[in-house]
Amino acid sequence: MSNRFFQKFYLRCGNCSAIQRSAQGYQPIANPILFKSDEHCRNYHDEQRRAAGYSGMVVTCRCHRCERVHSNWKVLDAQQFLDAKLRMTPEERAQRLWVSKS
């Protein structure tokens, strides 16, 4: 079960300072007849913490730049990401941000 509202986060790696995108969106309950209330409530509360900027949660994922799985991440909202991006030089942007596929 995912959040009913599409949300985009930006994660800054604590090891190499690279920034990557993270997103989640709506996914309906697979089979409402087999509804599991305990699992649904647990997921609902996890989603509330994610919506509040992952407060009280440890984010663990793979960094696309340093290729390490770790929990040393800083969650950035859209404004913090823009502020960080504008402070970077073009060389730093090419090094720390993801590669666009256009």
Give the pLDDT confidence score for residue 4 in this predicted structure.
Answer: 57
Give the pLDDT confidence score for residue 1 in this predicted structure.
Answer: 43
Residue 63 assigned as binding residue: yes
Please tell me whether the overall predicted TM-score, pTM, comes out greater than 0.75 for this model. Answer: no
Residue 61 assigned as binding residue: no
Tens-place pLDDT, residues 59-99: 888 888 888 899 888 888 889 999 999 999 999 988 888 76
Tens-place pLDDT, residues 6-34: 677 899 998 888 999 887 765 566 676 77
Residue 66 assigned as binding residue: yes
Boundaries of every domain in the chain: 7-96
- In angstroms, the CA 15 to CA 72 distance is 7
Residue 13 assigned as binding residue: yes
